[in-house]
Structure 1
Amino acid sequence: MASQFIQYLRGDQNAPGERKLIQKLDFFILTFCCLMYFLNYLDRSNLNNAYVSGMKEELDFRGNQLNQINTVFTVGYTIGQVPCNIALYYIKPRIFFPSCMVVWAGLTMATAGAQHPRDIMTIRFFQAIFEASTFVGTHYILGSWYTERELGKRSGIFTASGLAGTMIGGFIQTGIHSSLNGRNGLSGWRWLFIIDGIITLPVAIYGYLLFPDTPKNTRAPYLTAEEKALAISRVPEVSERTPISWNFLKYCFSTWYWYFFTVLWIIAGETESFSSNALLALYMKAHPTIKYTVSQLNNYPTGVPAVGIVSTLFWATLTDFLGGKRYLVGYWIGITGVITSALILAYPHNTAIQFGMYYWAGSVYACQATFFAWCNDVLRYEEDSLRAVVIASMNMGSNAVNAWWSILFYGANFAPYFTRGMWAMIAVSIAMAMWTGLLVWMHVRTEKRREMESSTTPGAEKEHAIGAPDEINKSSQLDEKV
């Protein structure tokens, strides 16, 4: 088993030409997407870093205005999900991704000039629409290039880059606050947003020049004609239809994929609430007896995404090696959410336990890579437009719920103990384990039906994959209804 795992990590199972292709794809796709996501998450986390580093006092934040800004961001992010993924059908990813980056870089720098919380609220709404392209768009691209055995590890590396942005953001804010606070009359938190915007632009230029688009339309100069043909042959060829049509919408809603995966990520998104709402930082800021310094407020919470990075890479790699058993992460999340919440409730005045549980809760970030890889795996034999919409709908549904969930259960005014939120976490963690089991059952049921159809009708599966007659497609769609 150990030797097989080492062989998997090295990629020895690939043919020589295929291995060289994958190395090129890993370099050009993952470097751009990871840098893009790193900067995306750096910007998001730095709002919370700025808040505890002087922005709250300078702009006179009151009550849960920070949560309201995060909610407005979530609304914009939700609105942008499906349109951004559909846009990838009409605009080459090499153009679309970097263009979105340029716009959000400009809006990030504009945040440095805010004079009131409502200014930040307005900026963050439009910023969110353009940032919505990154996460779901990249998962769609990864599913277009990589096979089932390769996808989890790449999704994990991509997701870990975002967590690295969250982790490093605290250290960056600490450094900026100590070296630039007051420079040219600007507070350290304002310099933070200026620098965030500036460092985004070179990555956008890199994307314009070298991102390879998708296998069917790539013109990447570093891929030979043979490698382009090999890239197309590595993933199933499926029928296509325009994603903007009434028939396509009816088709989406007639399959179980849309409902089950959207609900899966709605639940999973709320199991990340401890980390996504920066509860550890808020706990420290509102601690009744201990007064933490600005450096401590920025640095101590970085342990949460650090745990998330390790957990993400571990589970993504392990589930690849185990043949795509992504559902294992759903059960891990259920256990983690119940135990951490229960101990936080049981020991509200024990600072060590509070820190320990918030750090452990960071491990639930593993669901980002594994669940979107799971969706790509299951929809591998369906048309790309359906896969793109389901992936986008997952994130859209999660953010639509999180827009009010975070205020209801994790508002800054509930700090430091978030008692209501702990009970909510226990509930969604139990729901996570139950829904994971139900989705596994649906997936197994569909695979058995596909195998049965393939054995009783020779060539049926292949015909369906490459563009079967309408009668076969309609029959398959009816079989997959909930």
Structure 2
Amino acid sequence: MVPSSPTSRNSYLATSPTYKQERVLLAKIDWFILSYCCLMYFSNYLDRSNISNAYVSGMKEELHMFGTELNKINTIFTCGYIVGMIPNNLMLQVVSPRIWFPSMQIVWGILTFWQVVTLSPSHIQVYALRFFQGMAESSTFVGTHYVLGSWYKRDELGKRSGIFTSSGLVGTLFSGVLQAAVYKHLNGHTGRSGWRWLFIIDGIITIPIALYGFLVFPGLPRTTKAFYLSQEERVLAYKRLENTPVLEKTKSPPLLQVFKRVLGRWRWYACSLLFAISGETESFGSNNLMGQWLKATGKYSVEQIDYYPSGSTAFAIASTLVCATWTDHTQVRWPVLVYMSIACIISSVCILVWSSPTALKFFAYYLAGASYAGQATTFAWANQICADDDQERAIVLASMNMWNNVVNSWWSIVLYPATDAPRFRKGMIAMICVCVATLAVTWVVYALERREWRHRRADRIDCPLEKKDDSRSRDN
């Protein structure tokens, strides 16, 4: 089905009697939803990435972490993240996100503080803390994508998903800069190492953001009681959405029946497989490979090791925002995954050729930031595919990130162990394979979506009363 043009879409809105109210509504929800979700995800990434930054800033030597302890700690965190994802997303249909999101944020903020006194050479206590921190933090990413899909139309969703995803990258960028500044100014203050001060400051940043969420986050369109939305705006918030199957709140079917329905369709399998594979292109950043390479060479100071990888994160932010905005304009999501895969293949080849100049390796690690561009686009695509089934959408979004983290739980230990620094030869070979697999699965999802749209169009032709809805359909 051929997507309607932006011109025709704007014409439709311009003639709608609710056009001005819709613009006001969008401005309000953009501010209050995105401001809180972006700040929440920013603190999420601060508290998640701090241990990798601490590792290259003195923690490795102080705690005698000379094996794969860092990989094990990250794996324990990932296990908690996996366990918490689907329950957290289903809880959003029971407890308002206005309550659930800030509550989980306070939990992981407290756990971040706690790590300051529990990090020790034995590592036993930090394993437990990182597991529960992973459970609490798993509410943020997939939960926010669920909320965004509940408030925004498909031609509004990509840009907002990109802005949200970029806020996490800003957290990663800021964490490196913050660690460098903390090491420089607070190392040894009150007898604490600079890397321990990073955990304290991250916790201090996290708690006020949670309190802000309690005050302003609107929850979901059908149940929102946000003080800044009028009754007319609350009604408009859900009536304006395309493909909303039920506008009034109805009794939910049994959970087993929901899972049977979800598992009986292609969407769960295809979307989960897509991000389980494509998400591994982010291994460059998630394992701080550039920081480990810089540290292993012995040629760079602690501040340089913290600062230099920020270039990759900056490129990731730019790629994410540009690609997400472009997909909203074109309503075609798959080319972003092609761009991301090709960029990561080039980066891997440059690093595999170890005799290449240092400048080329810097270029390769910076170019690898493109891997994050697919994250926002993939989840916007899944939101779009599952727009007609709210419960399926919640489960599919959570499952995508869950299966990606199932792979993450062992991926870094096997393919990116800290003992492989600085070359990560087998990791770069695996990266090339992952990129090729991503291209293949992207084609499969695209083909399945097109087939579903063809079947829907055939059904609507058989049912003339639904023909008027066909003009709003978009085919990717």
Normalised by the size of structure 2, how large is the TM-score? 0.92
1:32 and 1:54, CA in 2 relative to 1: closer, same or farther beyond 3 A?
same
RMSD (Å) for aligned C-alpha atoms: 2.0
Q: Is 1:333–2:340 an aligned residue pair?
A: yes
| Contact preservation (8 Å) 2:316, 2:371 | yes
Please, which of 87, 112, 123 is the counterpart of residue 129 of structure 2? 123
Q: Deviations over 1:350-371 (max 9, x none)?
A: 2111111010010110111100
3-state SS of 2:114 partner:
helix
Q: How does 1:229-308 map to 2 (within 5 A)?
A: 229-235=235-241, 236-239=243-246, 242=252, 245-287=255-297, 290-308=298-316
1:344: which partner in 2?
351
2:400: which partner in 1?
394
3-state SS of 1:237 partner:
coil
- Cα distance, 1:120 vs structure 2: 2.0
Please, which of 88, 91, 95 is the counterpart of residue 91 of structure 1? 95
Separation in 2 of the partners of 1:380 and 1:142?
Answer: 11
1:21 and 1:271, CA in 2 relative to 1: closer, same or farther beyond 3 A?
same
2:474: which partner in 1?
none
1:43 and 1:456, CA in 2 relative to 1: closer, same or farther beyond 3 A?
same
1:366: which partner in 2?
373
Please, which of 44, 49, 64 is the counterpart of residue 40 of structure 1? 44
Letter paired with 1:63: G
1:67: which partner in 2?
71
Q: Is 1:20–2:30 an aligned residue pair?
A: no
3-state SS of 2:308 partner:
helix
Q: Is 1:221–2:227 an aligned residue pair?
A: yes
- Cα distance, 1:266 vs structure 2: 0.5
1:469: which partner in 2?
none
Letter paired with 2:260: K
Q: How does 1:139-178 map to 2 (within 5 A)?
A: 139-178=145-184
Separation in 2 of the partners of 1:130 and 1:459?
Answer: 46
| Contact preservation (8 Å) 2:344, 2:370 | no
Q: How does 1:369-384 map to 2 (within 5 A)?
A: 369-381=376-388, 383-384=389-390
| Contact preservation (8 Å) 1:40, 1:131 | yes
Separation in 2 of the partners of 1:118 and 1:241?
Answer: 45
1:258 and 1:241, CA in 2 relative to 1: closer, same or farther beyond 3 A?
farther
- Cα distance, 1:237 vs structure 2: 2.6
Separation in 2 of the partners of 1:207 and 1:451?
Answer: 42
3-state SS of 2:64 partner:
coil
Q: Deviations over 1:376-421 (max 9, x none)?
A: 111112x211100000000000000111111111110111000001
2:324: which partner in 1?
316
Letter paired with 1:92: S
Between 196-205 and 211-220, report the one with greater CA deviation: 196-205
| Contact preservation (8 Å) 2:354, 2:423 | no
3-state SS of 1:434 partner:
helix
| Contact preservation (8 Å) 1:86, 1:243 | no
Separation in 2 of the partners of 1:410 and 1:460?
Answer: 53
Separation in 1 of the partners of 2:166 and 2:366?
Answer: 16
1:449 and 1:84, CA in 2 relative to 1: closer, same or farther beyond 3 A?
same
Q: Is 1:77–2:81 an aligned residue pair?
A: yes
Between 39-48 and 210-219, report the one with greater CA deviation: 39-48
Letter paired with 1:126: F
Q: Aligned pairs, how many?
A: 454
3-state SS of 1:28 partner:
helix
Q: Is 1:110–2:114 an aligned residue pair?
A: yes
| Contact preservation (8 Å) 1:410, 1:421 | yes
| Contact preservation (8 Å) 1:64, 1:412 | yes
1:127 and 1:430, CA in 2 relative to 1: closer, same or farther beyond 3 A?
same
| Contact preservation (8 Å) 1:326, 1:371 | yes
| Contact preservation (8 Å) 2:315, 2:366 | yes
1:447: which partner in 2?
453
Normalised by the size of structure 1, how large is the TM-score? 0.91
% of aligned pairs identical?
48
1:431 and 1:108, CA in 2 relative to 1: closer, same or farther beyond 3 A?
same
1:356: which partner in 2?
363
2:442: which partner in 1?
436
Separation in 2 of the partners of 1:262 and 1:241?
Answer: 27
Between 346-355 and 160-169, report the one with greater CA deviation: 346-355
1:205 and 1:442, CA in 2 relative to 1: closer, same or farther beyond 3 A?
same
| Contact preservation (8 Å) 1:216, 1:232 | yes
In structure 2, list runs of 5 or more residues that go unmatched.
1-5, 470-476
Letter paired with 1:379: C
3-state SS of 2:65 partner:
coil
Between 324-333 and 77-86, report the one with greater CA deviation: 324-333
Separation in 2 of the partners of 1:242 and 1:358?
Answer: 47
Letter paired with 1:447: W
2:144: which partner in 1?
138
| Contact preservation (8 Å) 1:100, 1:131 | yes
Separation in 2 of the partners of 1:356 and 1:45?
Answer: 22
| Contact preservation (8 Å) 2:461, 2:467 | no
- Cα distance, 1:12 vs structure 2: 8.4
Separation in 2 of the partners of 1:18 and 1:57?
Answer: 56
In structure 1, list runs of 5 or more residues that go unmatched.
464-482
Letter paired with 2:369: G
1:273 and 1:244, CA in 2 relative to 1: closer, same or farther beyond 3 A?
farther
